[in-house]
């Protein structure tokens, strides 16, 4: 998929995010709730995925959504 300009959207109009920085991480633990999935990696990084609504439409929110500094 190609990214269209600097809007962060791919050709299908979805979010275009580079997840390659997660490639070397090893999962230490995982927990979940009704709308949240939390993954803790051996490095100490905590990655949270939440199911939310934006303008009445469902979407997934990722924190962090890019490589931590």
The stretch 47-63 carries a mean pLDDT of: 90
Close Cβ partners of 9 (under 8 Å, ≥ 6 residues apart): 3, 15, 16
Residue 46 in any domain: the answer is yes
Residue 69 in any domain: the answer is no
The stretch 22-47 carries a mean pLDDT of: 95
Does this model's pTM top 0.75? My answer is no
Total count of domains within the chain: 1
**Given pLDDT bands bounded at 50, 70 and 90, which one contains residue 18?**
confident
Query: 42: which 2 tokens?
Result: 């051996």
**Given pLDDT bands bounded at 50, 70 and 90, which one contains residue 9?**
low
What's the pLDDT score for residue 67?
83
Residue 68 in any domain: the answer is no
Close Cβ partners of 20 (under 8 Å, ≥ 6 residues apart): none
Enclosing domain of residue 32? 3-63
Residue 29 in any domain: the answer is yes
Residue 39 in any domain: the answer is yes
Residue 25 in any domain: the answer is yes
Q: What share of the chain is helix, strand, coil (3-state, %, to 5)?
A: 5, 50, 50
Residue 9 in any domain: the answer is yes
Percent of the chain exceeding pLDDT 70 equals 83
Query: 17: which 2 tokens?
Result: 């995010």
């Amino acid at each position: 998929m190609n990214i269209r300009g600097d809007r962060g959207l791919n050709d299908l109009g979805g979010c275009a995010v580079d997840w390659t920085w997660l490639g070397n991480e090893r999962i230490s633990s995982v927990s979940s709730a009704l709308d949240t999935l939390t993954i803790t990696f051996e490095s100490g990084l905590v990655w949270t995925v939440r199911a939310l609504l934006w303008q009445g439409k469902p979407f997934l929110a990722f924190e962090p959504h890019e490589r931590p500094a």
